Structure 1
Amino acid sequence: MTTPLQKTLPYDPVAQRALPGIQPLPPEEWLITDEAYEGQMALRDTLLADHRDKVLALDESAREAALELLDLVLEQAYPGAADSVTRPDGVTVPIDRDDPLGTIGRLIQEDVNILQKQGDEHVLTGGVMCFPASWTLSEKFMRPMVRIHKPVTVYDENIAKRVQRLFDGIRAGKPLWRFNVLGYHDPALHQPRTEDAPRNKKSPEPAGYLRSERQVMMRLPRTGAVAFIIHTYVIARKDAPPGALDT
């Protein structure tokens, strides 16, 4: 399947920002539908049908949070939906409350992860990750934040504490967001990679594609879990903003 590419980003990828680059987000803007919707959703449907065990995981402890998130997705994107919804691309998706993350994965472009506080850290207790950028859900599932970021060398103890304070401070109705910018030679959206086989970033050729994740962090008001919501953009070099692929 041809990778559906976007041509624009809804933010400036070269804007200077202090790490971790967190900004407040209007509550109504946590989901986006963009020009690559039809192609991305077709790919999501295929991955969830043919490779479900690789792109979806849910611990029973996170089921109520997943159901709450499904309700919020329906309220935001498909208000009034009952038994099924018809997506903007014309595909009808049944609302299966026995499979909340699988249903979410077919309703929106975004990947979602659920993190719940266990002890002193938030743990990844559920996720539907169709478009991983060089990591695998199975290696991160039921792991705390520090372990999730292996093998990111810059994610040291100081940053871990800052990130944990950030997650502790997220308030219901006050979502936060950030973005990253990566240069890729392969435009494929589904790029799982194990921790023992990290992505080789060195190449004599310039990256042909800009890959950027718009990452939203949102407190679920009823269960108190944190939803980490990722909208993935892949843009060809010729369409990338000036300077975005210079690093």
Structure 2
Amino acid sequence: MNQRQTVPTHTPYYGSSKLFTIGLKPLDPDRWIEVDDHLLPYLAEKRRLYAEIPERVFVEEDGTRDAQREVLDLLAEHLPTHFPQTHRRTSNGIEVVGADGNSDSGIGAGEFGDAPLVAASLLVQEDLVIMRRDESGWRLVAGSLCFPSSWSLIEKFGRPLQEIHAPVPGFGPGTRPAELINRMFDGLQGQAVERYNWSIQSGNALYHPLSDVQRIDRATNRPSRFPDGDINAHAFIRVERQTLRKLPTSRDILFTIRIHLDPLRVLAGHHDRAALAVSFAAQLKTLDLAQLDYKGMTSDRDRLVAVLNHMASDA
């Protein structure tokens, strides 16, 4: 789908959010959700995915509907207050101005019934994941994930955090980062937090899944994502803005993921493009082989760095 051609909204690769770090920061509740000019295209893409591959983009365990309803209620309270131009209250609840399906769900009721998390997901550009604590840790018990960043919702469904993060270099079971993340989840109370993650992909697809098997194959064979060598034409920066907040009644944790996609070439229009490109390149150069394999950049890192260095020198 078409994405912005202007200056990026978030630039965590400037050095504010380094890869393979936890990097959680307090979040102003007023900034919980982001809405921009791509709201309607994002929601249309979600509806397409629900219609074509519903089993890959929505999962739920029995007993999670009350927590799902909490998410929907929180959004119904937050959105019309902070975004009255795009979200309004109606006799039926809340609707997005100009969106298809406001008067009818438009999604197969046979697939989802009346899952509140699906309704919630069609109000925002964010993906929505619910984590629940039990004896095995914090598990993924429900989720609407239409825009995965190289992972599979089906594979992670029902699994605890330490297993979900097992493929991430340095974050596997028994590592200090894995233990810290569990403690942070346990300690999360009224204060919401946010973090950023980022990567490079070829093309502008929002739906960008990857199974663990595909990840292993990619790390073994290390193919280039840009076989024609034209990084400027095909490279997109994928930024994930992630938030965590504890639901007030269920005490489950809601994990939101907002995807921003920007062509790499738009950095040339940034007011501080030289420093930005230098910092971006420097971060890429610090990644070790395991990290490059995980991000799928092993074969392309040097070419990406060269493009960024050229951008900096032209500033």
TM-score (norm 2): 0.71
Report the Cα offset of residue 31 of structure 1.
0.7
SS in 2 for 1:47: helix
CA spacing shift, 1:118–1:82, aligned 2, 3 Å:
farther
The correspondence for 2:30, drawn from 19, 28, 41, is 28
Report what 1:226 is aligned to. Answer: 253
Report what 1:4 is aligned to. Answer: 3
Report what 1:100 is aligned to. Answer: 116
The correspondence for 1:192, drawn from 209, 221, 239, is 209
Code of the residue aligned with 1:167 in structure 2: it is: F
TM-score (norm 1): 0.89
| Of 100-109 and 192-201, the range deviating more from structure 2 | 192-201
2 CA distance for matches of 1:229 and 1:117? Answer: 17
| Of 18-27 and 120-129, the range deviating more from structure 2 | 18-27
Are 1:131 and 2:147 an aligned pair? yes
SS in 2 for 1:107: coil
CA spacing shift, 1:33–1:17, aligned 2, 3 Å:
closer
Are 1:86 and 2:88 an aligned pair? no
Report the Cα offset of residue 217 of structure 1.
0.4
The correspondence for 1:42, drawn from 24, 44, 62, is 44
Report the Cα offset of residue 92 of structure 1.
4.4
| Of 236-245 and 146-155, the range deviating more from structure 2 | 236-245
Report what 1:14 is aligned to. Answer: 14
Aligned residues: 245
For the Cα contact (< 8 Å) 1:55–1:128, is it kept in 2?
yes
SS in 2 for 1:233: strand
Report the Cα offset of residue 13 of structure 1.
3.3
Q: Which protein has the larger Cα radius of gyration, Structure 1 or Structure 2?
A: 2
CA spacing shift, 1:143–1:151, aligned 2, 3 Å:
same
Which string of whole-angstrom CA distances, capped at 9 and with x for unpartnered residues, describes residues 55-80 of structure 1? 00011132211111111011111464
For the Cα contact (< 8 Å) 1:85–1:95, is it kept in 2?
no
SS in 1 for 2:248: coil
SS in 2 for 1:13: helix
Residues 57-96 of structure 1: pairs in structure 2 closer than 5 A: 57-78=59-80, 80-93=89-102
The correspondence for 1:180, drawn from 188, 192, 197, is 197
For the Cα contact (< 8 Å) 1:211–1:233, is it kept in 2?
yes
1 CA distance for matches of 2:245 and 2:5? Answer: 25
Structure 2: state its 5+ residue gaps.
82-88, 106-112, 271-275, 285-315
2 CA distance for matches of 1:17 and 1:48? Answer: 32
Which string of whole-angstrom CA distances, capped at 9 and with x for unpartnered residues, describes residues 72-115 of structure 1? 01111146444153313343435979321111121110001000
2 CA distance for matches of 1:232 and 1:65? Answer: 23
Report what 1:211 is aligned to. Answer: 238
Report what 2:176 is aligned to. Answer: 158
2 CA distance for matches of 1:98 and 1:55? Answer: 16
Report the Cα offset of residue 181 of structure 1.
1.5
CA spacing shift, 1:90–1:22, aligned 2, 3 Å:
same
Report what 2:300 is aligned to. Answer: none
SS in 2 for 1:91: coil
Report what 2:310 is aligned to. Answer: none
Which string of whole-angstrom CA distances, capped at 9 and with x for unpartnered residues, describes residues 3-28 of structure 1? 43463224543134573111101112
The correspondence for 2:188, drawn from 170, 182, 185, is 170
1 CA distance for matches of 2:165 and 2:5? Answer: 27
2 CA distance for matches of 1:229 and 1:90? Answer: 21
